[in-house]
Amino acid sequence: MSDTHIPQPVKKRFLTPWTVVLILLMLHGILWAMIRFFKGIGSITNLDNQWPWGIWISIDVATGVALAAGGFTTSALVYIFHREHYHAVVRPALLTAMLGYTFVALGLLVDLGKYYNIWHPILPMMWHGDSVLFEVGMCVMFYLIVLYIEFLPIVVEHFKGRMNLPGKLARLNALSEKILNLADKTLNKVMFFFIIMGVLLSCLHQSSLGALMLIAYHKMHPLWYTPILPLMFLCSAILVGYSMVIFESLISSRSFDQKPEMNILTPLARIIPIIGVIYITMKITDMAIRGSQVYLLDGSVESMMFIIELGLCVIVPVLMLFFEKVRKSPKLLFAAVSMIIVGILINRINVFLVAYTPLYSTKTYFPSFAEVAITTGLVSALILVYRGIAIYFPVISQHQPVATE
Amino acid sequence: MDRRQFVKTLTVAGGITLIAPRIAEADGHNKEIIDSWKGCLVDLTLCIGCRLCEYACSNANNREVKPLPSYEDQTVFDNFRRMTNNEYTVVNRFPNSKNPESPIFVKTQCMHCNDAACLSACIVKAFSKEDDGTVRYDPWKCMGCRYCMVACPFQVPSYEYYNALAPQVRKCTLCHHIISKQGGVTACAQICPQDAIVYGPREDLIELAHKRIDAEPGKYVNHVYGEHEVGGTSWLYISSEPFENLGFPTLDDRPMPSYTEPIQHGIFKHFIPQIALFTFLGAIMYQFRSRNQNTNSGEQK
């Protein structure tokens, strides 16, 4: 008997005790968002003129985009480098990316003072090539379009040959089938373009997220400020992209009562230590070149956060993943990739918040309850939509034993 | 991963780390300084802390103006003040090391930098450098991302966090609507009873500043703050007290945009890097396409 992987809708109920918790968290977040829309950002956050950016930028945007990197990293692996063995993780990674970036945009609608102007960068009169944030915004916008196009075949696959519109609309079934067939053929032909664009756009915006804080040079702590911060962000995004794919696959299997797909995850995990070594070497070499190692042991909050970020949450798990025993064990593998994900989360928080010291600082920033509630609500909503789509559309590949001939 | 792969990986990583900063900092072009730029010179030895500039400023910019006598309140100086949504300029009091009886009062506001960080950072180009030197904010374009506040090395922009519908960034306007008219002078310079603030062409003000310093060398610190800091600013200061004791940030001459614009210009130069990467990835995709055909024929999946 050998296995084949066919993406199928997951045959599980949407509502479980966990999903009820997530729904409540989501509603809780929406409540606070409503207050923001009626009484202003200041009424519910700890942001002020010293601290213009908080966790909504460092976590919702920066970490959110990093964790969604699995989309382009798996696409590159399977469609550009043709490593077909990993095919089964492409669709879940794509779904994560699609939803991740969508919720980054939704989260921004809460953080932006004039959220209704979020579309302004589309207008040529407001194009600003000098601005790093402009590059981030445009690349994310185009990438979102690419992601939805990349997801389209899954939707087409689900409905093709099964069009069954209710009642009077049934006369449109044939036409719908024609459109779906046309879409199927066209998408097949052009998909290569969007896959490559996806990788290109991702490299651009993952790195420019790192360039964002460079302009605040005088307010940035030497442990994190470096001209190659964009390169480091790109590298860590790739690192956490593969980690997220493995993380989600293991959680998914758990949640949908399936066996963990170790025959895919174990070889996939081998990529992580390689990128990890590149990343760690970059960080340490850069530190040596700029002489910022003097700040490592001065006992400050910054030095502690740096050691936790790199030492505990990147070096340790990357070393762990060099061992086959770790890569083969679902539990140990889950632990290692979780640590890397936490490490990148801490890195983004460090770069945007810990390393940043306002010129006339009278307080340390800590997120308010409402800020945390809205961030949690966004994540909960994302998980719920993921579950819903995985149950309805053919995303998750499940083991299908095939009789040998 | 075997030893050879490991060494190769380390070499690649090390190489990237060494080369990348050179590329990042390559293009350090300076934006040219224009003759028509105006500015204000503040002589900190003259200010008496009457705060009439604050009154005139709020008036001129249609902000909430407090009753005139309230500006005589000296207790406001007990706390360090920053600009707010209604106060585009504030005065702070500092001890005078040369003459403890006579504290030094420092007026703060947007510096209207020659190569402004906020202008470079803004995602929708809501800031513009006008011909008279004003760094002008256009609220119509703004989406409230507050990146300008992150970028500003002087922590100037104030934000209307409690405005739920149309919050704006608030800062000194250099009375652009007044100075663009013939004979117009900034409201603060106009009202100052001590002539501590002089409005005029920036180059003339720098000359004036150095003249005053040279005329009384013992009196002033030999430095015109804003002449070169972050590439130069339109608001200039001369002082008897070292500037770092008066709340001024110690900044070098390098404009803030030079930390990001070289990267932005470099990686998008004629879109060549993008086309190159696209072609490179496409070539790999094409080159390795027969890979899965080979594996398919041999194994069952």
A131/B120 Cβ within 8 A? yes
Give the three-class secondary structure for B253. Answer: coil
- From B217's Cα to the closest Cα of chain A, the distance in A is 31
A53/B17 Cβ within 8 A? no
Taken in order B176, B63, B116, A127, the sign of the CA dihedral is negative
Across B170-187, average pLDDT: 97
Whether A151 shows a pLDDT value over 80: the answer reads: yes
pLDDT of amino acid B32: 85
- From B88's Cα to the closest Cα of chain A, the distance in A is 13
pLDDT of amino acid B33: 85
Total residues found in chain B within this entry? 301
Whether A4 shows a pLDDT value over 70: the answer reads: no
Whether A2 shows a pLDDT value over 50: the answer reads: no
Query: Of the spans A178-187, A243-252, B10-19, which averages the highest pLDDT?
Result: A243-252
pLDDT of amino acid A161: 83
Model pLDDT for residues B204-216, shown as the tens digit of each residue: 999 999 999 999 9
Task: Determine contact, residues A138/A96, Cβ cutoff 8 Å.
Answer: no
Across B41-65, average pLDDT: 97
Taken in order B2, B6, B9, B11, the sign of the CA dihedral is negative
Whether B296 shows a pLDDT value over 90: the answer reads: no
Whether B298 shows a pLDDT value over 80: the answer reads: no
Computed over every residue of chain A, the mean pLDDT equals: 95
Across B8-24, average pLDDT: 66
A42/B161 Cβ within 8 A? yes
User: Which member of B145, B155, B256 has the closest CB to residue A359?
Assistant: B155
Whether B82 shows a pLDDT value over 60: the answer reads: yes
Report which of A209, A278, A242, A207 is spatially closest to residue A77, judged by C-alpha positions: A242
Whether B21 shows a pLDDT value over 90: the answer reads: no
Whether A109 shows a pLDDT value over 70: the answer reads: yes
The pair of structure tokens assigned to B85 is 């949504």
Integer Cα distance of A350 and A223 in angstroms: 10
Instruction: Give me the CATH topology for the region A2-402.
Output: Formate dehydrogenase/DMSO reductase fold (1.20.1630)
Search chain B and give the residue with CA nearest A359. Answer: B155
Report which of A139, A144, A184, A142 is spatially closest to residue A161, judged by C-alpha positions: A184
Mutate to test the interface with A, among B143, B269, B301 (most CBs of A within 10 A): B143
Search chain A and give the residue with CA nearest B161. Answer: A42
More confident residue, B16 or B197: B197
Q: What does each C-alpha distance from A311 to A161, A224, A236, A239, B7 come to in angstroms?
A: 53, 14, 14, 15, 21
B292/A285 Cβ within 8 A? no
Q: First vs last Cα of chain B: how many Å apart?
A: 26
A274/B5 Cβ within 8 A? yes
Confidence at B26, pLDDT banded by 50, 70, 90: very low
Residues of B in contact with A41 (CB under 8 A): 161-162, 167
**Angle, alpha carbons A368-A371-A377 (nearest 5°):** 140
B300/A50 Cβ within 8 A? no
Whether A236 shows a pLDDT value over 60: the answer reads: yes
Search chain B and give the residue with CA nearest A114. Answer: B143
What percent of chain B is predicted at pLDDT more than 90? 83
Integer Cα distance of B72 and B256 in angstroms: 37
pLDDT of amino acid B5: 66
Q: Which residue bears the tokens 């608001």?
A: B235
Report which of B260, B79, B76, B64 is spatially closest to residue B170, judged by C-alpha positions: B64
Whether B8 shows a pLDDT value over 50: the answer reads: yes
Taken in order A334, A335, A341, A344, the sign of the CA dihedral is negative
B292/A82 Cβ within 8 A? yes
pLDDT of amino acid B286: 93
Domain boundary assignment for chain A = 2-402
Search chain A and give the residue with CA nearest B263. Answer: A211
Model pLDDT for residues B219-237, shown as the tens digit of each residue: 999 999 999 999 999 999 9
What percent of chain A is predicted at pLDDT more than 70? 97
Residues of B in contact with A114 (CB under 8 A): 142-144, 166-167
Q: What does each C-alpha distance from B124 to B128, B142, B164, B170 come to in angstroms?
A: 11, 7, 20, 17
pLDDT of amino acid A256: 86
Residues of A in contact with B149 (CB under 8 A): 49, 52
Least confident of A83-92, A167-176, B168-177, B214-223: A167-176
The phi and psi torsions of A161 (rounded to 5 degrees) equal 75, 0
Q: What is the CA radius of gyration of chain B?
A: 26
Search chain A and give the residue with CA nearest B17. Answer: A282
**Angle, alpha carbons A69-A71-A77 (nearest 5°):** 105
- From B288's Cα to the closest Cα of chain A, the distance in A is 6
DSSP B237: E
Across B50-55, average pLDDT: 98
Search chain B and give the residue with CA nearest A216. Answer: B151
Quote the crossing angle between the two packed helices A369-392 and A17-39, to the nearest 10°: 130
Residues of A in contact with B82 (CB under 8 A): 49, 360
Report which of B119, B107, B122 is spatially closest to residue B40, judged by C-alpha positions: B107
- From B215's Cα to the closest Cα of chain A, the distance in A is 34
Across A124-128, average pLDDT: 96
Model pLDDT for residues B98-110, shown as the tens digit of each residue: 999 999 999 999 9
pLDDT of amino acid A173: 87
Q: How many CA atoms lie within 13 A of A405 on its CB side?
A: 3
Structural class in CATH, domain B38-115+170-254: alpha beta
pTM (two decimals): 0.93
Whether B27 shows a pLDDT value over 50: the answer reads: no
Q: What is the CA radius of gyration of chain A?
A: 22
Integer Cα distance of A23 and A385 in angstroms: 10
Across A365-372, average pLDDT: 98
Integer Cα distance of B212 and B206 in angstroms: 10
Across B236-247, average pLDDT: 98
Across the A/B interface, how many CB contacts are shorter than 8 Å?
238
Across A60-71, average pLDDT: 97
Give the three-class secondary structure for B97. Answer: coil
Computed over every residue of chain B, the mean pLDDT equals: 91
Report which of A124, A151, A295 is spatially closest to residue A220, judged by C-alpha positions: A295
Domain boundary assignment for chain B = 38-115+170-254, 256-288
- From A174's Cα to the closest Cα of chain B, the distance in A is 35
Search chain A and give the residue with CA nearest B5. Answer: A274
Question: Nearest 10 degrees: CA dihedral of B165, B171, B172, B174?
Answer: -70
Q: What is the ipTM of this complex?
A: 0.94
Confidence at A6, pLDDT banded by 50, 70, 90: confident
Integer Cα distance of A118 and A114 in angstroms: 7
Query: CB within 8 A of A198, min separation 6: which ones?
Result: A71, A72, A75, A143, A146, A147, A150
Confidence at B11, pLDDT banded by 50, 70, 90: confident
pLDDT of amino acid A52: 98
Residues of B in contact with A112 (CB under 8 A): 143-145
Beta strand segments in chain B, E: 38-43, 90-94, 104-108, 127-129, 135-137, 158-159, 169-170, 197-201, 235-238
Q: Which residue bears the tokens 């309850």?
A: A369
Give the three-class secondary structure for B268. Answer: coil
Query: CB within 8 A of B115, min separation 6: which ones?
Result: B30, B31, B230, B231, B232, B255, B256, B257, B258
Give the three-class secondary structure for B290. Answer: coil
Confidence at B290, pLDDT banded by 50, 70, 90: confident
The phi and psi torsions of B137 (rounded to 5 degrees) equal -100, 130
Model pLDDT for residues A157-195, shown as the tens digit of each residue: 999 888 888 888 888 888 889 999 999 999 999 999 999
User: Which member of B257, B291, B300 has the closest CB to residue A215?
Assistant: B257
Residues of B in contact with A115 (CB under 8 A): 143-144
Query: CB within 8 A of A201, min separation 6: which ones?
Result: A72, A139, A142, A143, A146
Residues of B in contact with A53 (CB under 8 A): 146, 150
* Buried residues in A75-111 as b, exposed as e (16+ CB within 10 A): bbbbbbbbbbbbbbbbbbbbbbbbbbbbbbeebbebb
Residues of B in contact with A131 (CB under 8 A): 120-123, 125, 147, 264
